[in-house]
Amino acid sequence: MQAEADISQKGIAALTPLLDHQLLDITSYDLVKAYIEDEVEDLNWTQSQLELITLIGQQNYLAKML
């Protein structure tokens, strides 16, 4: 999960400047913006799951997921 969070962070960091520099047409801008928002939501979920694992332990987390 940590690897997934790292990849999401790198992707968000790479795409965010595209929105700031007005390099995209309106359709591309909307697509990239929606993608970034989805990635941020996914990253937040992943980070909350990692925090939960830290709090309750990996074995309890896996048991909870069943």
Tens-place pLDDT, residues 29-45: 999 999 999 999 999 99
Residue 21's pLDDT is 80
- Token output for 15: 């795409």
Residue 22's pLDDT is 81
Closest CA to 65 of 7, 47, 57: 57
Q: Is the pLDDT of residue 23 over 90?
A: no
Q: Is the pLDDT of residue 17 over 90?
A: yes
Total-model pTM: 0.83
